[in-house]
Copies of this chain bind each other. A is one copy, B any other.
Amino acid sequence: MDTDVYPKSADQIESWDFEADVVIAGYGIAGAAAAVEAASTGSDVLVVERTGGWGGAAAMAGGFIYMGGGTPLQKACGFDDSVDNMAAFLNVAMGPGADANRVGDYCAGSVDHFDWLVRCGVPFKPVFWGEPGWEPPGDEGLMFTGGENAFPFNTIAKPAPRGHIPQMANKRAGEASAGYMLMKPLVDTATSLGVRAVYDIHASSLVVQSDGRVAGLIARQYGKPLAIRARRGVVLASGSFAYNDAMLAQYAPRLVGRPAASIEQHDGQAIRMAQALGADLAHMDATEVAFLVDPQQTVRGILVNGRGQRYVPEDMYSGRIGQLTLYHQDDTAYLIIDGEAHEEANAATSATPFLKRPATWVCDSVAELESEIGLPAGTLQATVSAYNDSAARGEDPLLHKKPEWLKPIGTPVGAIDLRGSCAGFTLGGLKTSLDSEVLHVSGEAIPGLYAAGRCTAGVAAWGYASGISLGDGSFYGRRAGRTAAKG
């Protein structure tokens, strides 16, 4: 039970503990972007943050921001891209369920969004990192992060890398995450514009006027209830529901007990506060999925499911491999990799060497390995034989892994047991307009209520690319700030 979640009538508030034109719940990427934009218009802005400091999940993230359409960084690294090309990719890669209007809007504004981040002081180093991996190993600024250069996406749009990464001074020494280097300049910019922030404040419900307009928040600080007045608007920016097991069971049961790339404060409260006012939701089952193995390993082997069948080109974006594995292969995958390829993978540069995994089984023949894993007799042998035959010709007619990664599998041959190697966060949430207004189930905007970031259903529906969450969180966070400031 969470009886705090009911909306409160503004008539019943005797005194306000805090007041501002725009009140933002959550000081992660969406909240920071909203704060900068709202304050830029001259509004008085207050951010209430549940933890003891700004940053949210963003500050701990790898820092990818998904942008394209021909950003200066893409150009400096020698890549052509266009708004249409970016949209063609996202409309397929973010679906089924991707909203073409939102995708088009996001792509059309992407170069401008990059420029805005740079104006806020976010640094990007014009160096491309082209190796398979979850992140670049150093301070390289650009990378493929959604399988743009893998089949079938490389036949749908011209491959262009769009994962833009803020530059760190000393990443190899582990000084700070790129996410921190994104958040720090934004928070500094907000502070310089007069944005106030108060911490350890947990928003629990919305305050509503008799005419239906949202007028503030009820929250708790150190157990004490607080009333916070928003003269123009409330922006909800407090993250996903990855840490709310009851909500996961209702909407995304495969993720129960396996949240990742999120923080424990991601309890879905913003979603529920708005639902209590009749807010609409969208694609609540959609999730990002991390696949916890180093891509330098994956690309050098073949992935098979519990029937010994391949199901995805192994040079695909690892997050998509994770989605396909968790949802379509019952969380069951084995990476078949020979000794030489395994050594090569271990020697390859990677930002996540801790995800380089030892072989669970090593055998002298595929037949033995098949038996050790417990796969149905003959299945893995047929799969490897077919793969090897075509790989020797530099082809992969089954799944179109790129020729550079095709090499017959020799002996000794090992397998990495990747069952239960998926984790992730939720992508569904409040349905919003392109101006970041929270929509009622009637289809109308709820007056005075705005939202952005992972408490909303954003650009990604069922698919994902790394950088989409910091991307749409910052992009639509800005919109939320601007729209709320107008009141």
Q: List A residues at the B interface (Cβ < 8 Å).
A: 1-6, 95-97, 99, 249-251, 253-254, 272, 275-278, 280-285, 307, 309-311, 327-328, 376-379, 382, 386, 389, 397-399, 431, 440-444, 457, 461-462
When the two chains form their complex, are residues A283 and B250 in contact, meaning their CB atoms are under 8 A apart?
A: yes
20 contacting pairs across A/B (C-beta < 8 A): A1-B443, A2-B442, A3-B443, A6-B442, A96-B254, A97-B250, A250-B280, A250-B282, A250-B283, A251-B285, A272-B441, A277-B278, A281-B284, A283-B285, A307-B309, A307-B310, A328-B328, A378-B386, A379-B386, A382-B382
Known contacts A1-B443, A275-B275; A253/B461 CB under 8 A: yes
CB–CB B275/A280 < 8 A = yes
A244 to chain B, nearest CB (A): 11
Taking CB atoms, residues of chain B closer than 8 Å to A307 are: 309-311, 398-399
Is A253's CB under 8 angstroms from B96's CB?
yes
B5:A441 contact, CB within 8 angstroms: yes
- Measured between beta carbons, the chain B residues less than 8 angstroms from A462 are 253
19 further interface pairs, Cβ-Cβ under 8 Å (given A284-B285, A309-B309): A1-B444, A3-B443, A4-B442, A5-B442, A96-B253, A96-B254, A97-B253, A250-B280, A250-B431, A253-B462, A277-B278, A281-B281, A283-B285, A284-B284, A285-B285, A307-B310, A307-B311, A379-B386, A382-B386
- B251 adjacent to A440 (CB under 8 Å): no
Chain B residues with CB under 8 A of A280: 250, 275
The residue in A6, A310, A389, A442 that gathers the most chain B C-beta atoms within 10 A of its C-beta is A442
Per the bound structure, the CA–CA distance linking A398 and B309 in Å amounts to: 10
The answer to whether B442 and A253 have CB atoms under 8 Å apart is: no
User: Of all chain B residues, which has the CB nearest A98?
Assistant: B253
Q: Which of the residues B278, B283, B442 comes within 8 Å of A251, measured between beta carbons?
A: B283
Contact B379 A442 (CB under 8 A): no
CB-CB < 8 A to A2: which residues of B? 441-443
Do residues B441 and A275 form an inter-chain contact, with CB atoms below 8 A?
A: yes
